[in-house]
Amino acid sequence: MAEKKKHLQSIHVPHNKNTVECETERMPIPDFVYISMSQHIGAPCRPLVKKGDSVKVGQPIGDSDVPMSVPIHSSVSGIVSGIEESRSDNGGKNTLVVIEADKKQELWEGIQAPKAGSREEFIQAVRASGLVGLGGAAFPTHIKYNPKNIQDVTTLIINGAECEPFITSDHRIMVEETENIIDGALLVMKQLGMQEGFIGVEDNKPDAIAALRSMIEQKGNPNIEVIPLRSRYPQGAERVMVYEVTGKTMDAGVLPADLGVILSNVTSIAFIGQYFKNGIPLIAKRITVDGDAISRPANVLCPIGTKIADVVEFCGGYKEPPKKILMGGPMMGRAIFSDQLPVIKNNNAILIFAGEQAWVKEETACINCGRCYRACPFKLMPTLLSSAVKRRDAGALERLKVMQCMECGSCSYICPARRPLSFNNKLGKAIVKEAQSK
C-alpha cells in the first residue's frame, strides 16, 4: 500500500445507522414476484419463459446475446403468470416476468457448484451466476473481472465502506458472512493471478474489522489485509476507495484496471464465495429497510422481484403515510414513484420517509461561502459549473472538468443555500456529451 500525504476532501454526514445491530431476517416467500429484465448496466435481457411455464428456484428466465449483460434467474418456484411491460424506477420501460410462487422453493435441476479450472472457466461461471456490482453500480462482474490488461492487474480491493447514512446491509454481511468474503477474495485473487488483497472498512465498524481479521488468521494469514478507513463521506465511492487504499489517483475515464487494481463490493465478493460452494445464482438480496415511515426498521433478505410494499409489510407496515421512497441511500440513492416497484439486484436499501427528512428545502441565493469547493473530493468548483450549465457552455464545462464529478452529492448536502449543485453537474455532463456527439 502506497503512503499518502493526505486524504481526499470529504464531509461528515449523520450516520443514522439505526439497524446496525439488527441481524438479517429472511423474509417469507411472497405470493408473487415481479422480476425485472433490466437489472444491470448494458443490454436488458429477453424473457426465456412464457405465461403458464413452470419454473424452479435458480432457473434462468432471462438472458441476452450482448456481451454487456448477465442472465437473470427465478427467485422462487411456481408458475409464470404473465410477462408485463411497466415503468421502471428511472422512468423508462421495463419488462417484468411475473411468477406466482408455489412456496415449495424447489431448486432447478441445473444447479451445481461450478468448477473453474482456468481463468476463462471462472469468468464464464461468474457470468452464469448473474452477478453484477452489488454496491449500486450493477456493472456486469464478468466484464470487470476480464480487463484487456489482466496481466497488469495485481491488486484486489474489496469495498467494505458503507458511508451512506442509514444503510447497514454491507456491515451485516461482514459480520454474518465473513467466511464467504474471505473465501471469495481468495478465489478471485487465485483465478485472476493477483498478488495482494485489501479490504477497506471504515473505522466505525470495529466488529466487522475484528471478524475479518480473525477469519484471515483462520485461513492461514493469506496476503489479504484489512485497512481501517476514516468514517467520512464519500469514502465508499470507487475512485475515493482506490486512492485511500493505494494512494493512486483515478481520474474520470480511467479504469481501476489501468492502475493495476480490480475493486469489488464486499457483498459481491461474499456472493462469489457462496456461489462457488453451492452453485445457487443471484436470486436474493439483503437490504436495509429504514426511515421514519417504517414501523420496524430491519435488515431483510428477500427474493429478488419482491414488491417493496411486501417488504414494508414484513417490517410492520407504515406507521405514517410515506412521502418519499428511496432506493439506496439519501446521498446517491434514487427517489422512486411507488412502493409497487420490485427489489432488483443492486438494491442495498429501501428508505421511506414521512416527516422532515422527506422535505425539499427551499433554494436561496448563493452566498459565495466556498463550502461546496472544500467538500468536493476532486476540488471541482460547483458554483462555476452551475453558471456554465445555465449558459449551456460545453467548452467552459470541459475546462472546469465537469466529467470528474461522480455525483456524490457532497456539494449539494453542504450548501447552506440548498442549491442542487450535484444535479446541475449531472446536467453539465449531459451538455458536454451532447456537444461531443455533434
CATH number at residue 142: 3.40.50.11540
- Ramachandran region, residue 291 (left: φ > 0; alpha: ψ -120 to 50; beta: rest): left
Matching residue, cell 445507522: 17
Residue 264 counted as domain residue: yes
Residue 41 counted as domain residue: no
User: Can you read off the three cell numbers belonging to residue 84?
Assistant: 408485463
Check whether 372 is labelled as a binding-site residue: yes
d(CA 347, CA 138): 9
Residue 349 counted as domain residue: no
Claim to verify: residue 389 and residue 256 sit in the same structural domain? no
Residues 391-422 as b/e (b if ≥16 CB within 10 A, e otherwise) read eebbebbbebebbbbbbbbbbbbbbebebbbb
Claim to verify: residue 272 and residue 137 sit in the same structural domain? yes
Residue 259 counted as domain residue: yes
Residue 160 counted as domain residue: yes
Last residue of a domain, one of 278, 308, 340: 278
Check whether 366 is labelled as a binding-site residue: yes
Check whether 22 is labelled as a binding-site residue: no
**pLDDT tens per residue across all 438 residues of the chain:** 544 557 999 999 999 999 999 999 999 999 999 999 999 988 999 999 999 999 999 999 999 999 999 999 999 999 999 999 998 877 788 999 999 999 999 999 999 999 888 999 999 999 999 999 998 778 999 999 999 999 999 999 999 999 999 999 999 999 999 999 999 999 999 999 999 999 999 999 999 999 999 999 999 988 999 999 999 999 999 999 999 999 999 998 899 999 999 999 999 999 999 999 999 999 999 999 999 999 999 999 999 999 999 999 999 999 999 999 999 999 999 999 999 999 999 999 999 999 888 888 899 999 999 999 999 999 999 999 999 999 999 999 999 999 999 999 999 999 999 999 999 999 999 999 999 988
Residue 59 counted as domain residue: no
Report the number of distinct structural domains present in the chain: 2
What pTM, to 2 d.p., does this model score? 0.94
Cβ distance 300 to 281 under 8 Å? no
Claim to verify: residue 271 and residue 383 sit in the same structural domain? no
Check whether 45 is labelled as a binding-site residue: no
Claim to verify: residue 138 and residue 274 sit in the same structural domain? yes
Check whether 163 is labelled as a binding-site residue: no
Claim to verify: residue 273 and residue 379 sit in the same structural domain? no
Residue 375 counted as domain residue: yes
Residue 395 counted as domain residue: yes
Q: How many separate helices (H) and strands (E) can be counted in the chain? A: 13, 17
Claim to verify: residue 274 and residue 381 sit in the same structural domain? no
Last residue of a domain, one of 259, 278, 297: 278
Last residue of a domain, one of 244, 278, 312: 278
- Residue 433 domain boundaries: 371-437
